Amino acid sequence: MKVLRTGVLLIVMSVLLVIVGGAIGGRGGLQIALVIAVVMNFVSYFFSDKIALRSSGAQPVTREQLPRLYQVMERLAAKAHIPVPALYVVPDAAPNAFATGRSPKHASVAVTEGLLQVMNDDELEGVIAHELSHVRNYDILTSSIAATIAGAITYMAQMGRWAMIFGGYGGNRDNDREGGGFSALLMIFLAPFAALLLQLFLSRTREYAADETGVNMVGQQYGLISALEKLGAYNKRIPTSAISPSTSALCIVKPFFGSGTLSSLFSTHPPLENRIAALKQMVITPIR
């Protein structure tokens, strides 16, 4: 069901892109915006792992340095039938973790020093299983496709705004008389907002899916439930000192918390209480 939902969201975003392109820039404008978005996200897709690791100050670790982490990672990677990712530690007291990389063969998992200090073995296993699930489910690829479409929609809207400023907006008076001008105006201001909401909803969907896959990988949900409860409590008290806002979307819990409805609406992560409630109701289907 979650795979179907992801596919539907990507299709809706694609349809929105076509509608926006036709309303604002026609075929030529659509092609330009799409090319720019594809190029930018191509670079992001192939280099985002290096950017995320470098910006957070993550350092590679060996088995000799962290045997406990390696044992958990190797056991779960074997269960998930994927290669063992490269392992990194982020010098940050706030407990958190993130996975990055364009495919299971090019994946990295980073955990903070704070996470290693506060998690027991079951909780660490739940966190690592969640991150390996992102790798196994190709969530970086899915996010890159969504970002490409959302980026193209945003570029189209920006082109429409500039056209309005310099008097070239509309291009076709017949379209204006038929209401095309008004529809394009709506697209300029509403389409980027709609694309953002769809992208955020897709991100939340992938978090739920990673929770579910990770729990099935481990065979029980109690370790991840306890880990999420502990992460939520610690991250409300300890601000992150290393993870950047751009990297925070990759983390198992969002390092920067807001208190209002609006901040929750624009969060890349579902509310922790909703994730925990979903985990408590799960029926385990072990991965074989």
> Quick check: is 212 catalytic?
no
Q: Residue written as tokens 């985002």?
A: 48
Of 125, 131, 207, 212, catalytic: 131
User: Checking DSSP bridges between strand 86-90 and strand 97-100, what pairing results, if any?
Assistant: unpaired
187: nearest Cα among 45, 15, 32, 7: 15
Provide the residue type at 173 as one letter.
R
Q: Where are the beta strands (DSSP E) in the chain?
A: 59-60, 86-90, 97-100, 108-112
Residue 57 phi/psi, 5-degree rounding, is 75, 25
Tell me how far apart the alpha carbons of residues 56 and 63 are, in angstroms, rounded to a whole number. Answer: 21
Distance from chain centroid for Cα 237: 24
Name the packing angle between helices 180-218 and 67-80 (round to 10°): 110
Tell me how far apart the alpha carbons of residues 113 and 121 are, in angstroms, rounded to a whole number. Answer: 15
Q: Which residues are catalytic?
A: 131
